[in-house]
Structure 1
Amino acid sequence: MDWIEVRIHTSREAEEATANFLLEMGAEGTSTADPEVLTRTWKQRYGEIVDLDPADYPEEGIWVTGYFSEAKFSEELIHRLQEKVEGLADFGLDPGPASILHRTVSEESWASAWKAYYKPTKVTSRLTVKPVWEDYEAKSKDEQIIQLDPGMAFGTGTHPTTVLSLRLLEKYLNTGDRVIDVGCGSGILSAAAAKLGAGRVLALDLDPVAVENAKKNIGYNQVEDRVQVRQGDLLKGVTGTANVVVANILAEIILLFTADVPRVLETGGTFLASGIISQKEAEVVDGMNRAGLEVVERIHDGDWVALAARKW
């Protein structure tokens, strides 16, 4: 079967939102080509990026590519994607050129091409993200390996918002903690929480495709005994409590449920929020303050911000 490859030229800060648009509209998978990898200085070499061709990357910005079955593709889909990407400016995200190209590719080409860009990556002092098809062994007894197949959900562990989330999880999660992962995507944060010692993790996502893919990734990491993945709309219907609530989603979505966080967060617990563009930081901090949460740490990566807030 042939597939339709739809490539969107956008900005780094719009990567996850653009990938989400593609998935919402029926893409069976996404990949990102970021020219930053061509000039990156790698502190450790795992054979992860070699012989990269500059022709496979844009000169500026990034390419986010989605793959659609012929049955799901239409010219109307391209028009709708164009409107959605250009509309990111209304949410404080730079849409970049927002240009869209498409072409027909064979199933074999689609199945293997995007994997060339995804290799084992050490994302924090203790966490390394490894695609399930790559061989990699831990370099020390403290290193935890998260096995991941992004499949039809995004969140490979290399995007700044995900790395910031993992850094905060590593710092604030204590052994035995109960965790709620809101908008779990590929399940990477839930798997990481379990690997870092969480006693129980509830992973929630509104997208049923993300839920199924997260379940697979939890299985790859052999932490099914501690991680429950289910479909859910933010914190609606959640009756249990947690020591840590983590969310790596857009600021606008974080603000939709921040007031509900104290209901499920234990006293002394921590709310970790990432996916916040710097222009929205003050707005999210204000929302946390109004909910009775105190911001105790802010970390940055470029234009992205992640916050740790406590319930006292």
Structure 2
Amino acid sequence: MEWTAITVTTSIDASEAVSNMFAELAVGGVQIDDQATNPELDDQTVQVTAYIPSNTDAAPLLASVRDGLNHLSDFGLEGGAGTVATTTIDDGQWTNVWEQYYHAVRLTRYLTVAPRWEEYSPSQPGELVVRLDPGQAFGTGTHPTTRLVLQLLEAVVRGGERTLDVGTGSGVLAVAAERLGVGSVLATDIDAVAVASAEKNIALNPVSHITVIASDLLRSVPDDQQFDLVLANILPDVLERLVPEVPHVLAERGKLILSGILLAKEPRVRQWLTDAGLVVTTTITDGKWVALLATRPDGEVA
């Protein structure tokens, strides 16, 4: 099958916004390339690529993408090059490109993300490997926002936690959580392509307590379920809808980990948490990105 690849070259800061823009335009999913997967990029530049069938008229989508790029500055984002390019590729070409550039990456003290096709064995005691097949929908799991969530996960997991992963995407956080020792994971995503991608990646790993469902944030999460850990690596405009609902599913001493947040947006997110009756106990950063760990006022920090 042939595909039209629409590639936006932009800054790391704007990558999540561009991904969200594609999602709002009903593109099934996106692939994010950074220096780890494309050595020709510098460390501040990423390429966000959406794939549509080649027999689809791309002109309206391209016009909307260019219009969206022109408005990134309205949200305090630097768009970088801001170029848009299209190419036609088939499935075989796409696979060859990924297998050339995508290799195992150590993300945290214990966690390494490795592609399905690469032979990789842990090199240090305690190292845990998460296998991913990036597919045509999602990236490699190496974005700074993912790394931040994983760092906080390593710090708080004690074993057996009931975990909710909101906006699971590739499923990397869900798999990593079980590898670290949580008891179970319910992973949700509004995008059917993401649900399928997550299920495929889960099957690549030695995990057996992850359930993936299609859901707009918490809408399809059973009302009677409580979680010890809630994870969300999504854009602030989506977090604004999510945060007020979290107390309904967060266990008494549960913990909420949020990422996908630019430093400039952190005060707003903190206010949403305060309004929801939650307290930020830990903050970590990576460049211009920040992740927050929050609990109820009487909850344990770790």
Per the normalisation by structure 2, the TM-score is 0.90
Corresponding residue for residue 182 of structure 1: 166
State the Cα distance separating 1:59 from its structure 2 match.
9.5
Corresponding residue for residue 211 of structure 2: 228
Quick one: which amino acid aligns to residue 233 of structure 1?
A: D
Q: 5+ unaligned residues in a row in structure 2: which ranges?
A: none
Query: Is the Cα–Cα contact under 8 Å of residues 92 and 277 in structure 1 kept in the other structure?
Result: no
Q: 1:112 to 1:67 in 2, by over 3 A?
A: farther
Matched, 1:26 2:27: yes
**C-alpha distance in structure 2 between counterparts of 1:107 and 1:210, whole Å:** 18
Quick one: which amino acid aligns to residue 230 of structure 1?
A: I
SS at match of 1:164: helix
Q: 1:288 to 1:60 in 2, by over 3 A?
A: closer
Corresponding residue for residue 8 of structure 1: 8
**Greater alpha carbon shift after TM alignment, 265-274 vs 98-107:** 98-107
Query: Is the Cα–Cα contact under 8 Å of residues 33 and 139 in structure 2 kept in the other structure?
Result: no
Quick one: which amino acid aligns to residue 26 of structure 1?
A: V
Corresponding residue for residue 44 of structure 1: none
Deviations 1:187-213 (A, max 9, x none): 000000100111111000000110111
**C-alpha distance in structure 2 between counterparts of 1:236 and 1:59, whole Å:** 37
**C-alpha distance in structure 1 between counterparts of 2:233 and 2:44, whole Å:** 25
State the Cα distance separating 1:107 from its structure 2 match.
3.9
Q: 1:280 to 1:120 in 2, by over 3 A?
A: same
SS at match of 2:231: strand
Corresponding residue for residue 46 of structure 1: none
Deviations 1:230-286 (A, max 9, x none): 001111242200001010001111121211111111112110000001111001011
Give the 5 Å matches for 1:11-90.
11-22=11-22, 25-26=26-27, 30-34=31-35, 56-57=40-41, 61-90=45-74
Q: 1:58 to 1:202 in 2, by over 3 A?
A: same
Corresponding residue for residue 130 of structure 1: 114
**Greater alpha carbon shift after TM alignment, 86-95 vs 167-176:** 86-95
Quick one: which amino acid aligns to residue 202 of structure 2?
A: I
Quick one: which amino acid aligns to residue 189 of structure 1?
A: L
Quick one: which amino acid aligns to residue 291 of structure 1?
A: A
**C-alpha distance in structure 2 between counterparts of 1:147 and 1:110, whole Å:** 19
SS at match of 2:81: coil
Matched, 1:94 2:78: yes
Query: Is the Cα–Cα contact under 8 Å of residues 93 and 277 in structure 1 kept in the other structure?
Result: no
**C-alpha distance in structure 2 between counterparts of 1:105 and 1:81, whole Å:** 20
Q: 1:218 to 1:74 in 2, by over 3 A?
A: same
**C-alpha distance in structure 2 between counterparts of 1:147 and 1:4, whole Å:** 27
**C-alpha distance in structure 2 between counterparts of 1:69 and 1:28, whole Å:** 13
What is the identity percentage for the equivalent residue pairs of Structure 1 and Structure 2? 38
State the Cα distance separating 1:164 from its structure 2 match.
0.3
Cα RMSD after superposing both structures: 2.2
Matched, 1:164 2:165: no
State the Cα distance separating 1:95 from its structure 2 match.
2.3
Query: Is the Cα–Cα contact under 8 Å of residues 126 and 143 in structure 1 kept in the other structure?
Result: yes
State the Cα distance separating 1:158 from its structure 2 match.
0.9
Query: Is the Cα–Cα contact under 8 Å of residues 32 and 139 in structure 2 kept in the other structure?
Result: no
Q: 1:262 to 1:301 in 2, by over 3 A?
A: same
Matched, 1:207 2:191: yes
**C-alpha distance in structure 1 between counterparts of 2:7 and 2:175, whole Å:** 30
State the Cα distance separating 1:65 from its structure 2 match.
2.8
Quick one: which amino acid aligns to residue 159 of structure 1?
A: H
Corresponding residue for residue 250 of structure 2: 265
Q: 5+ unaligned residues in a row in structure 1: which ranges?
A: 38-48
Deviations 1:6-62 (A, max 9, x none): 22121111223323444654367524143xx5xxxxxxxxxxx8xx86xx4369733
Corresponding residue for residue 285 of structure 1: 270
**C-alpha distance in structure 2 between counterparts of 1:105 and 1:150, whole Å:** 16
**C-alpha distance in structure 2 between counterparts of 1:28 and 1:273, whole Å:** 21
Quick one: which amino acid aligns to residue 87 of structure 1?
A: H
Query: Is the Cα–Cα contact under 8 Å of residues 92 and 280 in structure 1 kept in the other structure?
Result: no
Q: 1:107 to 1:195 in 2, by over 3 A?
A: closer
What is the aligned length?
A: 294
Query: Is the Cα–Cα contact under 8 Å of residues 16 and 154 in structure 1 kept in the other structure?
Result: no
Per the normalisation by structure 1, the TM-score is 0.87
Matched, 1:173 2:157: yes
